Structure 1
Amino acid sequence: MSDAFTTHVLNINTGSAETVFDLTGDCERFLRVAAAGRDGLLNVFVPHATAGIAILETGAGSDSDLLAALHALLPADDRWQHRHGSPGHGRDHVLPALVAPHATLPVIGGQLELGTWQSVCLVDTNRDNADRQVRLSFLG
């Protein structure tokens, strides 16, 4: 395959609590090799029916605010038709409709072009499956 397209899979363990997991450093490490100073696009994709990718500020409370907003929009109770797993697990299957399972980001000169406070994050509300894969793909 051409070096214009490079892909790598991250294996992430998100633990037993709902989380916003910062992937920015992983993306930057991948791009140092994959982009090698070139312009292009980074696609970040999580191949799971109960997780998403978000671009947001972390560390100043926004990650906790996102989880709180998801709790308000998608309560973990018995209202969901999808009922296997822990109580309220059906909401986890609705999450990717609100937090997409992918993001495509510009890469300029081999560097991820994010705003000052932006981070690339895996959003995982599924407490039943902590083992996640995230596919990073560079096209340039």
Structure 2
Amino acid sequence: MRQKFHRLTIETRGKGLYMFTSGIEGFVAESGISAGLLTLWCLHTSASLTVQENADPTVRKDVAAFFDELVPEDRTYIHDDEGPDDMPAHLRSMLTNTQLSIPVHGGRPTLGMWQGVYLFEHRRQPHRRTVILHLIGE
């Protein structure tokens, strides 16, 4: 059993979904591990991870619009240290995932044809986000 570890940095331009599937695929290919489990961990409380449609961009727009309605910024929150989008960003990350597990088979992450892996940025301002990749297998 072998393990590989990598820090992936994702630059965001504000709220939205940022696909980074190619970074994951490159890491797995370079690892030399053909079968195992890839764990992704987001090091932030105002961003999250998701697997979502990778072909039609209107899906990502609808997802973002849904979360804007579900957790509005124009509500009064006690925690607003970093602005009106601060607490809503924390709530949105609680409702999604900060960790994903993806099986690896044949030296590739086993994603469906229309699946992409995304960082879901919940803040309006650009950020530099870190995702930890940990692969264990043979």
TM-score, length-scaled by structure 2: 0.91
Residue 50 of structure 1 corresponds to 46
- Once residues 48 and 135 of structure 1 are traced to their aligned partners in structure 2, the CA distance between those partners, rounded to angstroms, is 11
- Range with bigger deviation, 44-53 or 55-64: 55-64
CA contact (8 A) 2:6 2:134 kept: yes
Which letter maps to 1:80? Y
Which letter maps to 1:45? W
Structure 1 residues without counterparts, runs of 5 or longer: none
Which letter maps to 1:107? V
Deviation above 3 Å: which 4+ runs of structure 1?
A: none
Which of 97, 112, 118 is the matching residue for 2:109? Answer: 112
Residues paired across the two proteins, number: 136
- Once residues 48 and 37 of structure 1 are traced to their aligned partners in structure 2, the CA distance between those partners, rounded to angstroms, is 28
Residue 94 of structure 1 corresponds to 91
- 1:1-40 paired onto structure 2 within 5 Å: 4-15=2-13, 17-34=14-31, 36-40=32-36
Which letter maps to 2:100? A
TM-score, length-scaled by structure 1: 0.90
Q: 1:7 to 1:37 in 2, by over 3 A?
A: closer
- Measured after TM superposition, the shift of residue 72 of structure 1 is 0.9
- 1:124-139 paired onto structure 2 within 5 Å: 124-128=121-125, 130-139=127-136
- Measured after TM superposition, the shift of residue 95 of structure 1 is 1.5
Residue 76 of structure 1 corresponds to 73
CA contact (8 A) 1:79 1:88 kept: no
Describe the superposition over 1:8-50 as per-residue Cα deviations: whole angstroms up to 9, x where unpaired.
Answer: 00111102x212000100000000111x252001111111011
CA-atom RMSD, angstroms?
1.5
Name the SS for the 2:89 alignment partner: helix
